[in-house]
Amino acid sequence: MKKYILLILINIPLILSAQGRITNENFIGSWKMIGFNEYGEEKLTGIKWTFNSTSIDVHFETEKIASFNYIISQYTCDDSQYDDTDYHLKLTDLNDGYIECYVVLGFNSIEDELSLSLQSYDNPNPTLFKKDCTLDSDNDGYNDCEDRNNAVNNTTITSNFTEDKGGWRNNGSVAATLEEGRLKVSNVDSSWEGVQRPLDELRIAPGQQLNISLDFDQGDTSANVRLYVQEQDAEGNHLSWNVINGKLQTRTYNYTYTIKTGHKAILRIDKSNTHLEETTHFYVDTIEVKLLDCTLDSDGDGTNDCEDRCPSIVGPSLGGVGFNNGCPFEVEHARDPLLPRN
C-alpha cells in the first residue's frame, strides 16, 4: 500500500450513514485526511484528496504527490463481483498503473461538516476524511459543506432534445432526428421499431422506484406505440419486458415504475404489431427518469417522494395499463407472441 495515501490508521472512529445511491458527483471537491493522536483527538495528516469528475489529485501539504483515475461502482475491484450492499472505490495510479481498492463505508453530516469514511481492502481500519469547506466546487454560491448536492442525492436523467438526443438511440431501421426541440422518430415500418435509452447512470436494484415522465405526440401514427422497461441482470443479460403503456396518445404522461428483479434497465418506446403496412412517425419530448428516494419529502407536503406520485406499478408482461384519475393500474393481458425475447 502506498505510504503517501494512508499515513495514520490508529483509533479512527467508524462513521457510517445510510448509503442510498452513490456516484462520482458525491465525491467531487477536496477532502482532508484526518488522523488521531494518542488521546483520540483529531489532527490533520497534511494529506488532501481532490476528486474531479473521473480523477483524483493527492497532495501532501501543498505538493501534489500522485494522480489517479477512479471508478465508483457496486462491483468489487479485485474480482468484479456485484455487491448488493456496498459501493467500491477503485483507484488506478496514472504513473505506474498501481491499483488501490476501498469500500465506501459512508458519508456523514455533523454540524455543517461533511465526512467520508473509506476502508482499504488491505487494512481493516477505516480512513476518515472531512470536506474542505473553503471551496465552492460547483460554483453555486455555497461552499462544499453547505451544498447538500455534495451528499447523496436522487439521480435524474433528463432528455429535452434541444441540443442532442440525450442518450436515446435507434432500435431498428428507423431515423431519429432532432426537430424543433423534439425527437422525431420516423421511417417506423416494422413492429418493435423505435428508440431506446439505457439507464446506465441510475443505481438499479429490485424494489427501487423510477418516476418516468414524458411528452408524446403520435404524429401520423395509426399503430399503437408503447412505453416499456426492459430489465437486465448486472451483466446486461435480459430478464423481462414490462409494458407501462401499450397505447400512447398525444399528451403528457407521468408514471411510477417499480423494478422487479433487475440491476440494469432500458427504457423503450416503439411501435406494436399493428398497422404493419404503414410507415409512420411520432415525436417524444422532455423525457425525465428519476430514481426516487422514499426517505425524502422534497416538496415538504408531509408525504414522501414515492407517495407523492401515482401508485406504483410493476408492468405486466404485455401492457395492459388502465387509468384512474390519471394514474395507471395493471390490466391482465396475454403475452404477445411477437414480443422480442432478448
Residue ending a domain, choose from 136, 153, 170:
153
Is residue 143 domain-shared with residue 64, that is, in the same domain?
yes
Q: Does residue 337 belong to any structural domain of this protein?
A: no
**Maximum Cα–Cα distance across the chain:** 80
For residues 172 and 275, state if they share a domain.
yes
Residue 74 lies in a domain: yes
**What's residue 309's pLDDT?**
52
What's the confidence (pLDDT) of residue 275?
58
Q: Distances in Å between the alpha carbon of 85 and those of 16, 24, 82, 103?
A: 13, 18, 9, 10
pLDDT of residue 132: 78
Alpha-carbon distance values, 92 to 101, 139, 189 (Å)? 9, 28, 48
Query: How many domains are contained in the chain?
Result: 2
Tell me the pairing of strands 280-291 and 209-217.
antiparallel
CA separation for the pair 128, 71 (Å, rounded): 19
Q: Is residue 88 part of a domain?
A: yes
Q: Are residues 108 and 183 in the same domain?
A: no
Residues of the chain with confidence (pLDDT) below 70: 1-21, 109-112, 136-154, 273-279, 293-299, 303-342
> Which 3-state string (H, E, C) describes 126-161?
EEEEEECCCCCCCCCCCCCCCCHHHCCCCEEEEECC
Whether residues 144 and 259 fall in one domain? no
Measured CA to CA, the distance from residue 308 to residue 288 in angstroms comes to 16
Domain check: are 259 and 273 in the same one?
Answer: yes
What pLDDT, on the 0 to 100 scale, is given for residue 85?
77
How far is residue 302's CA from residue 293's CA, in Å, rounded to a whole number? 15
Q: Which of 100, 134, 153 is the last residue of a domain?
A: 153
> CATH no. for residue 249?
2.60.120.260
Q: Which of 163, 154, 289, 179 is nearest to 227 (CA)?
A: 289
Give the Cα separation of 167 and 138 in Å (integer): 24
Indicate whether 284 belongs to any domain. yes
Question: How much is the pTM?
Answer: 0.50
Phi, psi of 24 (to 5 degrees): -55, -30
Based on the domain organization, do 195 and 288 belong to the same domain?
yes
Whether 118 and 177 map to the same domain: the answer is no
Residue pointed to by grid coordinates 504527490: 65
Cell numbers linked to 269: 418506446
- Please report the pLDDT score of residue 15 as a whole number: 37
| Same-domain status, 112 and 190 | no
Please tell me whether residues 215 and 291 are part of one structural domain.
yes
All cell numbers assigned to 76: 468489487
Q: Is there a domain that residue 235 lies in?
A: yes
Q: Are residues 57 and 149 in the same domain?
A: yes
Predicted local distance difference test score (pLDDT) of residue 141:
61
Q: What domain range is 249 assigned to?
A: 156-330
User: What does the block give as the cell for 84?
Assistant: 448488493
CATH of the domain at 101: 2.40.128
Among residues 103, 131, 153, the one where a domain terminates is 153
Residue with cell 440525450: 166
3-state secondary structure of 93: strand
Contacts (Cβ under 8 Å, ≥6 apart) of 214 = 227, 252, 253, 284, 285, 286, 287, 288
In the chain, the N- to C-terminal Cα span, in Å, equals 44
Are residues 200 and 291 both part of a single domain? yes
Establish if 339 belongs to a structural domain. no
Residue 294 sits in the same domain as residue 267: yes
Residue 106: closest CA among 121, 97, 96, 116:
116
In a domain, 278, yes or no: yes
Does residue 340 lie within any of the structural domains?
Answer: no
